[in-house]
């Protein structure tokens, strides 16, 4: 069946969440947002393009930082309202310089920092 980005289910802002996962280690790196055009661009370029909600603009990840995400596999869920992007990440995914944005855990009621900037 041919895939049509418009067949995904976007929220009232025209967006859906996209999880980026390291294609080799399976580490979850970050979550950001896409609209249908960002999905199209990501598939066409094989490089991840998000929609920045704060800047209201396309966000070709790595254009400024060099920390690009090469697309290995794009998947969507049973409700067609969330994406899983398996990527080859250059450098850190997180703007803090850490590999993953999920570097804080809650353990015994306290915030625990799991990693430092690379």
Q: Which residues bind its own copies (CB under 8 A)?
A: 1-3, 17, 19, 21, 25-28, 30-31, 43, 73-79, 82, 84, 94-96, 98, 101-107, 109-111, 114
Of the pair 6, 111, the CB lying nearest its own copies is at 111
Residue 75: C-alpha distances to residues 21, 28, 68, 71, 100 (Å): 11, 14, 19, 11, 20
SS3 label, residue 38: helix
Of the pair 28, 36, the CB lying nearest its own copies is at 28
Would you tell me how many other CB atoms lie within 10 Å of the CB of residue 49?
Answer: 24
Of the pair 56, 110, the CB lying nearest its own copies is at 110
């Amino acid at each position: 069946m041919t895939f049509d980005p418009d067949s995904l289910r976007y929220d009232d802002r025209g967006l859906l969440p996209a999880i980026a996962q390291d294609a080799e280690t399976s580490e979850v790196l970050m979550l950001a947002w896409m609209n249908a055009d960002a999905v199209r661009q990501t598939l066409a370029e094989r490089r991840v393009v998000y929609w920045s909600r704060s800047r209201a603009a396309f966000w070709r990840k790595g254009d400024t930082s060099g920390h690009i995400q090469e697309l290995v596999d794009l998947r969507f869920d049973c409700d067609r309202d969330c994406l899983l992007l398996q990527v080859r990440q250059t450098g850190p995914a997180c703007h803090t310089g850490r590999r993953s944005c999920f570097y804080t855990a809650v353990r015994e009621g306290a915030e625990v920092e799991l990693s430092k900037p690379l």
